[in-house]
Amino acid sequence: MPASVLDGSVASVPGSDVKCVKSWGVVQNTPENVHRQLWSETKEEKLRDDDTMIDHKIVEVLDDAGNYQIVYQKYKFPWPLSARDFVFLRFVRTLPDGTIVFISKSVTHPDYPEEKKTVRGDIINSAYVQKPQDGNTLFGYMVQMDPKVPLPSSLPS
């Protein structure tokens, strides 16, 4: 899907050491198609599109409509860092104006305990917004995620 970036920024969040990254752009497709691509992408498609991804599974669907899901993802990190994994709840809503919003936040799940040699990251907040705009989609992404990467104390914060 052709797209163009309009804006991107990094912001401090009061009470947190973890910054929030957000960006906006325009995707030349409908919000429904953009959402379908993001929400329904298979493990094979994700692995093809992201060479850092090791695994992607929908662990549990929590409602009949499939709007609430627990997801597991695992990623390679560059040496000497260990792989990172995430277990998160994601849910989707369509607003009256046709805007589609889906939000994710880390959770725990008994079938996916933390693994040795893998660091469990924390998705504090994450949201995709897909708003109709002149036959295209105004696409926004925001994430506040802690990958639990230890930084040397000599680095300024």
Q: Which range among 64-78, 91-105, 122-136, 143-157 shows the weakest confidence by mean pLDDT?
A: 143-157
Tens digits of residue pLDDT in 104-139 = 999 999 999 999 999 999 999 999 999 999 999 999
- 155 within domain boundaries: no
CA 19 to chain centre: 15
Residues in the chain: 157
- 154 within domain boundaries: no
Tens digits of residue pLDDT in 40-73 = 888 999 999 899 999 999 999 999 998 999 999 9
- 83 within domain boundaries: yes
CATH code at 43? 3.30.530.20
pTM of the model: 0.86
- 151 within domain boundaries: no
Parent domain of 104: 3-12+20-146
Which one of 88-92, 147-151, 152-156 scores highest in mean pLDDT? 88-92
Once rounded to an integer, what is the mean pLDDT over residues 29-48? 91
- 129 within domain boundaries: yes
83-94 vs 118-120, strand pairing mode: parallel
- 102 within domain boundaries: yes
pLDDT of 154 over the 60 cut:
no
Provide the pLDDT for residue 155.
Answer: 46
Banded model confidence at residue 1, pLDDT cuts 50, 70, 90:
low
- 157 within domain boundaries: no
pLDDT of 157 over the 50 cut:
no
Residues 137/30, Cβ–Cβ less than 8 Å:
yes
The domain tally of the chain equals 1
SS (H, E, C) the chain: CCEEEEEEEEECCCCCCCCEEEEEEEECCCHHHHHHHHHHCCHHHHHHHCCCEEEEEEEEECCCCCCEEEEEEEECCCCCCCEEEEEEEEEEEECCCCCEEEEEEECCCCCCCCCCCEEECEEEEEEEEEEEECCEEEEEEEEEEECCCCCCCCCCC
pLDDT of 156 over the 60 cut:
no
- 152 within domain boundaries: no
